[in-house]
């Protein structure tokens, strides 16, 4: 029996629809590993540079202040990570809870800070952000320091919903591939959020 090429292609196309469920599920669950954009030696050099800067800017002032103030605040205050702040202050934070991502309104013309504990489906949503708060948060979100080659595990993931469909996170550099929603929810951190970002979040939520 002879068949045209179009018929054969149609059968092949149909048959692709019958491939194993495991393969179909795998394709949708696939998340790419973050690729290092630099050669390894450059990455090592960059990491060393970051360590030196951190040492100079954080450790030395902390040492100098150690004898003067036991619990300092403001300039020279010990670095508190965003993750640690959310963990330690979780009982004092003010927020509303949503049970799933589908309840989030990405296009509601209203900006929010959203965070989620690892392993939990519940999303914590801040009060609506003012324009000024959104501007300060998005600016501070760009000031993080690179995690380098280190694998960082987070207790909380954090996003800023800008209200126009755009979502950013202080844990990723703001490139075309990381500003948006959908795929952003399962990121691996590229940046440690800056102290100023953590402070802004702390002020916003307490």
Partner 1 sequence: MEDCKIVDLYWERNENAIGESDKKYGKMLKALSLSLLSSREDAEECVNDTYLDAWNAMPTARPAYLGAFLSKITRRISVDRFRATHRQKRGGMENLTEELGECIPSSISVVEEYENGRLSKALDAFLAALEKEKRVMFIRRYFYSQPVAEIASAMQLGESKVKVTLHRVRESLRQFLEEQELL
Q: Which residues contact 108 (CB under 8 A, 6 or more apart)?
A: 163
**Closer residue to partner 1 in complex, CB, 11/55:** 11
**Shortest approach of partner 1 to residue 108 CB, angstroms?**
17
Radius of gyration in angstroms for the set of CA atoms belonging to the chain, rounded to a whole number: 22
Site size with partner 1, rule: CB under 8 A: 34
CA dihedral 39, 40, 45, 48 (to 10 degrees): 140
Tell me which of 7, 143, 149, 203 binds partner 1, using CB under 8 A: 7
Angstrom distances, CA of residue 136 to CA of 43, 56, 113: 30, 26, 12
Considering the rule CB under 8 A, would residue 13 count as an interface residue with partner 1? yes
The answer to whether residue 68 forms part of the interface with partner 1 (CB under 8 A) is no
CB neighbours of residue 142 within 10 Å: 13
Segment lying near partner 1 (by CB under 8 A), choices 21-29, 61-69, 106-114, 140-148: 21-29
Does residue number 186 form part of the binding site for partner 1 (CB under 8 A)? Answer: no
Residues that bind partner 1 (CB under 8 A): 1, 3, 5-28, 30, 32, 34-35, 100, 102, 177, 183
């Amino acid at each position: 029996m002879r068949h045209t090429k179009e018929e054969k292609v149609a059968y092949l196309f149909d048959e692709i629809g019958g491939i194993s469920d495991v393969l179909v599920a795998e394709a949708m669950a696939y998340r790419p590993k973050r690729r290092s954009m630099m050669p390894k030696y450059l990455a090592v050099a960059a990491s060393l540079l970051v360590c030196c800067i951190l040492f100079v800017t954080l450790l030395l002032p902390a040492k100098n202040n150690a004898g003067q103030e036991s619990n300092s605040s403001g300039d020279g205050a010990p670095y508190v990570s965003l993750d640690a702040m959310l963990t330690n202050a979780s009982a004092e934070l003010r927020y509303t809870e949503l049970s799933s991502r589908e309840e989030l309104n990405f296009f509601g013309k209203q900006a929010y800070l959203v965070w989620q504990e690892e392993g939990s489906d519940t999303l914590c949503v801040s009060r609506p952000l003012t324009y000024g708060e959104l501007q300060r948060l998005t600016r501070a979100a760009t000031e993080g320091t690179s995690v380098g080659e280190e694998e960082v595990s987070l207790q909380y993931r954090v996003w800023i919903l800008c209200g126009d469909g755009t979502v950013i996170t202080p844990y990723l550099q703001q490139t075309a591939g990381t500003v948006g929603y959908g795929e952003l929810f399962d990121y691996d951190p590229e940046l440690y959020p800056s102290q100023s970002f953590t402070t802004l979040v702390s002020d916003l939520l307490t």
